[in-house]
A and B are shown apart, each in its own frame.
Chain A
Amino acid sequence: MLKGGVIMDVVDAEQAKIAEEAGACAVMALERVPADIRRDGGVARMSNPAMIKGIQAVVSIPVMAKARIGHIAEAQVLQSLDVDFIDESEVLTPADEANHIDKFEFDAPFVCGATNLGEALRRIGEGAAMIRSKGEAGTGNIVEAVRHMREITSGIRHLGTLSSTELPTAAKNLAAPLELVRDVATRGWLPVPLLCAGGIATPADAALMMQLGAEGNFVGSGIFKSDDPERRAKAIVEATTHFNDPERVAAASEQLGEAMPGIEMSAIGEDARLASRGW
């Protein structure tokens, strides 16, 4: 149960301890944070199992890890390591350009990224237990996460306005399973938690996403690429918890040092956009 919490990207046991002590409700173990993956280029793959085990050994909170989109064997390896959640992630280089993992084949729960409601429902239809926005990872720019969260939540509200006769066409247009479309129209929300990921760099970014409907925040490069990771991690937890309390968000935002360097979307070519990975 990770609702209302912050899940932080960490690359070693030391960072994992800092994240846990700062109040993270889970950590995402990965080899390089997205900002470095973006900078280094090449093929980004599942993390080294030894590193994941090292992190599991030092924290008591859940440990998540990323598998490439469609990479069934990486997911099997992560499950065998007893990770608490597998992120089938566009931040890594996709292994399959047409298919995602059949997540019902696994006992470990999966989180998947989505840019809109249709994509979210396709992932849930494949067995995802949690959806997160994709944002544009490693940019320190919140604009894409905002776009994705608004796409998903306004899509949900729209379904709620349709009659039962109109839902099959809505499902066709969303390219999503009809049963899930009916379910979302009735309950007014996804059947799984919806979190934000991709671009959170400041406490105010975290508060913004919670106000837009996120049930928790993933923070990747934003913490360990900043001046003072420990303090920034705590501040982002504080802002996620008290997202409706601007005075607390303000207090948390003081004396943090520099945030990670940001990248304007227009400076990233279409080819270099991570959010467009996934189908």
Chain B
Amino acid sequence: MKHLGSVGATGLEVRLPADLVGIDGLILPGGESTTITMGLDQYGLADPIRELAASGVPVLGTCAGMILADRQHLGLIDITTRRNAFGRQLASFEDEIELAGVGGPPFTAVFIRAPWVEDLGDGVEVLAEIQGHPVAVRQGNVSAFSFHPELTADDRLHAWFVDACRSRISPRSVIQPE
């Protein structure tokens, strides 16, 4: 949220479908995918999020959010993920990664109980890999990272995402409720 503020966007928390109305971009954050999946079902968030993504609104999934976006969950992006692929908490690590399409020096990416992309469709672009496994991917308006960009002071990825949201909206095309 602080990172979003520092790159000029207003962050809102989404707990219920009504919170999705009028947003210009959606971040599916890290957390426990088991727990968040239950929340999505319980509060009827899955279909509204699918509609939002289908309408072209930029969506970014990070860590557990990558899992939520995959084929087995919300189906927003044509990937299959492997949960806790790098191991449990003790296997958490940081690594420097280059991200295709984002300029500047490499990012410090923080991986905590992180997933990786096990399989991906033809339309999915790989932006970064670690140990031969994709950890940052994009398909159209949906991107997914297996690390936590909010845990470092570097806000370039947030700026990158907010730019994508901005380039899509203009003053006359704010998303309206159905």
A binds B: yes
Which of chain B's residues have a CB closer than 8 A to the CB of A26?
32
A60-B15 contact in complex given A1-B148, A84-B88, C-beta closer than 8 Å:
no
Contact of B89 among A20, A21, A23, A62 (CB under 8 A): A62
Tell me if B31 and A1 are in contact (CB < 8 A).
yes
A79-B35 contact in complex given A1-B148, A60-B83, C-beta closer than 8 Å:
no
Residues in B81-136 with C-beta less than 8 Å from chain A: 83-84, 87-90, 112-113
Which of chain A's residues have a CB closer than 8 A to the CB of B35?
5, 23-25, 61
Interface of A is mostly: loop
| Chain B 47-91 interface 0/1 with A at a Cβ cutoff of 8 Å (1 = within) | 000000000000000011000000000000000000110011110
Docked CA distance A82–B84 (Å): 13
Docked CA distance A233–B62 (Å): 27
Docked CA distance A4–B29 (Å): 12
Closest Cβ–Cβ distance, residue B178 to chain A (whole Å): 23
Closest Cβ–Cβ distance, residue B115 to chain A (whole Å): 12
Which of chain B's residues have a CB closer than 8 A to the CB of A62?
32, 88-89, 113
Which of chain B's residues have a CB closer than 8 A to the CB of A168?
none
Which of chain A's residues have a CB closer than 8 A to the CB of B148?
1
Docked CA distance A83–B88 (Å): 8
Residues in A4-61 with C-beta less than 8 Å from chain B: 4-5, 20-21, 23-26, 60-61
A-B contact count (CB 8 A): 54
Docked CA distance A30–B148 (Å): 30
Instruction: Verify if A108 is at the interface (C-beta below 8 Å from B).
Output: yes
Closest Cβ–Cβ distance, residue A104 to chain B (whole Å): 15
Tell me if B31 and A20 are in contact (CB < 8 A).
no
Size class of the B contact interface (CB-based, 8 Å):
20 to 34
Residues in A51-88 with C-beta less than 8 Å from chain B: 60-62, 79, 82-85
Closest Cβ–Cβ distance, residue A37 to chain B (whole Å): 25
Docked CA distance A241–B145 (Å): 25
Which of chain A's residues have a CB closer than 8 A to the CB of B113?
62, 84
Which of chain A's residues have a CB closer than 8 A to the CB of B11?
none
Which of chain A's residues have a CB closer than 8 A to the CB of B29?
1
Which of chain A's residues have a CB closer than 8 A to the CB of B63?
1
Instruction: Verify if B39 is at the interface (C-beta below 8 Å from A).
Output: yes
| Beyond A3-B31, A4-B31, A5-B35, 18 additional pairs, beta carbon < 8 A | A1-B30, A1-B64, A2-B31, A5-B32, A23-B39, A25-B32, A60-B34, A60-B84, A61-B32, A62-B88, A62-B89, A62-B113, A79-B90, A82-B87, A82-B90, A83-B89, A84-B90, A241-B39
Q: List 23 A-B contacts (CB under 8 A).
A: A1-B29, A1-B148, A2-B32, A5-B32, A5-B35, A20-B34, A23-B35, A23-B39, A24-B35, A60-B34, A61-B32, A61-B34, A62-B32, A82-B87, A82-B90, A83-B89, A84-B88, A84-B90, A84-B113, A108-B90, A109-B89, A241-B15, A241-B39
B residues engaging A (CB < 8 A)?
15, 29-32, 34-35, 38-39, 42, 63-64, 83-84, 87-90, 112-113, 148
